Amino acid sequence: MKTLDQIAAELEGYDPQALSAADVQAFLSRLVTPVQDAVERLLFEALGRVLAEDVISPFDVPPHDNSAMDGYAFDGQQLKADAALELQVVGTALAGTAWQGSVQAGQCVKIMTGAIMPPGADTVVPQEFVKRLPSDTADEGSRIGIPPGLLRAGDNRRLRGEDLMQGQPALRKGELITPARLGLAASLGLKTLPCWRPLRVAYFSTGDEILSLGEAPREGAVYDSNRYTVFGMLSRLGCQVIDLGVVRDDPALLEAAFTRAAAEADAIITSGGVSVGEADFTKTMMKKLGDVAFWRIAMRPGRPMAVGRILATKSASTPGTTGAISYKKNSNTHGAILFGLPGNPVAVMVTFLAFVRPALLQMMGASAAPAPLLKARSSEAIRKKPGRTEYQRGWVATAADGSLVVKTTGSQGSGVLRSMAEANGLMVLHHAQGNVAVGDEVDVMMFDGAI
Ligand SMILES: Nc1nc2c(c(=O)[nH]1)N[C@H]1C(S)=C(S)[C@@H](COP(=O)(O)OP(=O)(O)OC[C@H]3O[C@@H](n4cnc5c(N)ncnc54)[C@H](O)[C@@H]3O)O[C@H]1N2
Ligand code: MOO
């Protein structure tokens, strides 16, 4: 496990008081390691988890050549480019039961979508293409005609193993389990999947002016919104949230909260108390209980941030629970990774999306590259100083010509949550980028399911 000093030494020109957003991402990717603690989960409980092992297909999918259409199966070698093909219907193959027999030259079998291809047949003509001879019934004993030029040999046959071959990896370790992957696992007859256990993340808000819901309003105080935005973003990631509420600016209370969080959680997120304000014990306590760096990041919003590790003072094997399953913290965890986010509500969300989310995904063992940024044309001019990354709340829409356009959702103050609530993405105005003119293309990080 590397110390912060060791990581800092690996990064060229590391200066905690002048970090770019890219420096922060590089630092965090070195700081965190996957929490590797696997459990078998029933498919219905595996959605959103990360696969702990490759899943190998135990058989070919589909297990037999089968029909892709309702129609008639026959040997496609008989097709001619310039003449209709007449065939005698000799049986019916239903999905789920193999037709007994084999199809000879001049014969076909009426077949349903998904039914096993009978021996001797490699091609299916959809029933809509067929002329019934002489009447309009085309069952066993009757004849069909296939007009020329409509089909080639092998058409409308799904090949055994075309989805997956036996022994081939169907799913890969590190993949997030999506609905399609759940379905693929089910198609292999698997009842459970090996998943990493959910990450446990403790959160608390700091600040004497922060009110919990239900408390009476008082002058100068604000309701705790960060607790809910962080809860929402962690839940969307599939983390188990250990909610420690609001912790007053009191050394004993802060110490108790950090100690409990470090013993129970893999990561701790706090908001507030990381800037230069006085009467703030948060930073003091972070320093006392861990290995923590205090950064100033060249970005907007989200300038101050604390990062490091809070060391567990008690046994690091406090059990936690998720649903009916109980887990032990890894014995090699030695405390928890700390993300001390700035207090301003939008700064919390932006630093979470830009830094904490990718770091937590890495801790979850997820291997996917971050979603690509979209390109959209700005429908307004935006002032932007080179030398810092700005994340502007915006709404991306499709213009009449089909291209994407983006517009800010109003005031970009780091306390203005309304413009965040109205946005569907963040424009990412990169470190070296300058002013944006109307019609300029900008990068956008879409919220999708993340927030
Ligand atoms: N002299 C300087 N002052 C400030 C700087 C600076 O560099 N030099 N940075 C500014 C920036 S940027 C931010 S962001 C804030 C961060 O300060 P803290 O992390 O110490 O946060 P607080 O002072 O505790 O709170 C800031 C702001 O956010 C509100 N807040 C805090 N927690 C919550 C919560 N849970 N729910 C809703 N709102 C919350 C709090 O009331 C304050 O208004 O510092 C700037 N100052
Ligand atoms: O971290 Mo601050 O949000 O830029 O006000």
Residues 352 and 234 in one domain: yes
Give the list of residues 6+ apart from residue 402 with CB closer than 8 angstroms, or none.
none
**For a pLDDT cut of 70, what percent of the chain falls above it?**
92
In angstroms, the Cα distances linking 275 to 66, 126, 249, 341 are 66, 70, 14, 10
Task: Report how many helices (DSSP H) and strands (DSSP E) the chain contains, helices first.
Answer: 10, 28
Q: pTM for the complete prediction?
A: 0.89
The CA distance from 15 to 18, in Å, is 5
127 Cα–ligand 2 center, Å = 66
- pLDDT band at residue 1 under the 50/70/90 scheme: confident
Residues 255 and 353 in one domain: yes
> Could you tell me if residue 42 is inside a domain?
no
> Could you tell me if residue 45 is inside a domain?
no
Contact between 55 and 41 under an 8 Å Cβ cutoff? The reply is: no
Residues near ligand 2 with C-beta < 6 Å?
Answer: 300-304, 342, 344, 347, 414
Q: In this predicted structure, what is the pLDDT of residue 135?
A: 56
Ordered DSSP codes for 297-335: BSEES--EEEEEEEPPSS-S---EEETTEEE---TT--S
287 Cα–ligand 1 center, Å = 19
115 Cα–ligand 1 center, Å = 65
Q: Is residue 332 pLDDT above 70, yes or no? A: no
| Nearest Cα residue to atom 27 of ligand 1 | 344
Q: Residue 273: which CATH number?
A: 3.40.980.10
Q: Which atom of ligand 2 is nearest to the CA of 302?
A: 1
| Nearest Cα residue to atom 43 of ligand 1 | 344
> Could you tell me if residue 237 is inside a domain?
yes
The CA distance from 110 to 123, in Å, is 12
State mean pLDDT over 382-408. Answer: 97
Give the list of residues 6+ apart from residue 364 with CB closer than 8 angstroms, or none.
34, 35, 50, 196, 198, 199, 237, 238, 239
The CA distance from 238 to 252, in Å, is 31
Quick one: which of 361, 363, 427, 355 has its CA closest to 24? 355
The CA distance from 116 to 95, in Å, is 7
The CA distance from 127 to 42, in Å, is 41
If you ran DSSP here, which 8-state letter would residue 174 be given? T
- pLDDT band at residue 323 under the 50/70/90 scheme: very low
- pLDDT band at residue 305 under the 50/70/90 scheme: very high
Residues 233 and 357 in one domain: yes
pLDDT tens digits along 269-293: 999 999 876 667 999 999 999 999 9
> Could you tell me if residue 108 is inside a domain?
yes
State mean pLDDT over 40-69. Answer: 96
The CA distance from 170 to 200, in Å, is 28
Query: What are 308's strand-pairing partners?
Result: 292, 338
3-state helix, strand, coil in the chain (%, to 5): 20, 30, 50
Residues 19 and 110 in one domain: no
| Nearest Cα residue to atom 4 of ligand 1 | 275
Angle at 348 between CA 229 and CA 2, to 5 degrees: 115
Q: What is the average pLDDT score of the chain?
A: 92
**For a pLDDT cut of 90, what percent of the chain falls above it?**
87
Contact between 423 and 393 under an 8 Å Cβ cutoff? The reply is: yes
Q: Is residue 2 pLDDT above 70, yes or no? A: yes
Residues 234 and 334 in one domain: yes
Structure tokens at 150: 């409509």
Q: Residue 389: which CATH number?
A: 2.40.340.10
296 Cα–ligand 1 center, Å = 13
> Which ligand is in closest contact with the Cα of 225?
1
Residues 266 and 395 in one domain: no
Q: In this predicted structure, what is the pLDDT of residue 279?
A: 60
- Identify each DSSP E strand in 20-106 by its residue range: 38-42, 55-56, 66-67, 71-74, 85-93
Residue 330, Cβ density class (10 Å: 0-12 exposed, 13-18 middle, ≥19 buried): middle
Contact between 416 and 369 under an 8 Å Cβ cutoff? The reply is: no
Query: Which residue, 342, 363, 384, sits at the end of a domain?
Result: 363
Q: What are phi and psi of 227, to 5 degrees?
A: -60, -35
> Could you tell me if residue 225 is inside a domain?
yes
Tell me the ipTM for this assembly.
0.96
Q: Which atom of ligand 1 is nearest to the CA of 209?
A: 41
H or E segment and range at residue 212: none
248 Cα–ligand 2 center, Å = 21
Cβ–ligand 1 distance for 415 under 6 Å, the answer yes
Q: Is residue 343 pLDDT above 90, yes or no? A: yes
How many angstroms separate the first and last alpha carbons of the chain? 31
Cβ–ligand 1 distance for 414 under 6 Å, the answer yes
Residues 251 and 117 in one domain: no
The CA distance from 397 to 315, in Å, is 52
Residue with tokens 């941030």: 305
- pLDDT band at residue 328 under the 50/70/90 scheme: very low
> Which ligand is in closest contact with the Cα of 351?
2
- Tell me the residue range of the domain where 109 lies: 66-158
Query: Which residue, 302, 337, 363, sits at the end of a domain?
Result: 363
411 Cα–ligand 2 center, Å = 14
Within 13 Å, how many C-alpha atoms sit on residue 374's CB side? 21
In the chain, the number of structural domains is 3
Ordered DSSP codes for 410-448: S---TT-HHHHHT-SEEEEE-TT---B-TT-EEEEEE-T
445 Cα–ligand 2 center, Å = 19
Contact between 367 and 174 under an 8 Å Cβ cutoff? The reply is: yes
Cβ–ligand 1 distance for 340 under 6 Å, the answer no
> Could you tell me if residue 329 is inside a domain?
yes
Q: Is residue 28 pLDDT above 90, yes or no? A: yes
Q: Is residue 450 pLDDT above 80, yes or no? A: no
Quick one: which of 200, 182, 204, 450 has its CA closest to 323? 200
> Which ligand is in closest contact with the Cα of 272?
1
pLDDT tens digits along 140-178: 678 999 999 999 999 999 999 999 999 999 999 999 999
In angstroms, the Cα distances linking 165 to 115, 161, 168, 228 are 19, 5, 6, 46
Residues 359 and 378 in one domain: no
> Could you tell me if residue 257 is inside a domain?
yes
For a mutational test of ligand 1's pocket, the pick from 344, 352, 388, 389, i.e. the residue with the most ligand atoms closer than 8 A to its C-beta, is 344
221 Cα–ligand 1 center, Å = 13
Cβ–ligand 1 distance for 271 under 6 Å, the answer yes
3-state secondary structure of 47: coil
Residues 234 and 336 in one domain: yes
Residues 348 and 201 in one domain: yes
Q: Is residue 316 pLDDT above 50, yes or no? A: no
Contact between 101 and 91 under an 8 Å Cβ cutoff? The reply is: yes
Q: Residue 82: which CATH number?
A: 2.170.190.11
Residues 223 and 326 in one domain: yes
> Which ligand is in closest contact with the Cα of 296?
1
Q: Which atom of ligand 2 is nearest to the CA of 350?
A: 3
The CA distance from 322 to 120, in Å, is 55
H or E segment and range at residue 188: none
Q: Which atom of ligand 2 is nearest to the CA of 413?
A: 5
Query: Which residue, 311, 334, 363, sits at the end of a domain?
Result: 363
Q: In this predicted structure, what is the pLDDT of residue 153?
A: 97
262 Cα–ligand 1 center, Å = 24
> Could you tell me if residue 90 is inside a domain?
yes
Residues 342 and 392 in one domain: no
Most confidently modeled of 139-153, 322-336, 360-374?
360-374
192 Cα–ligand 1 center, Å = 45
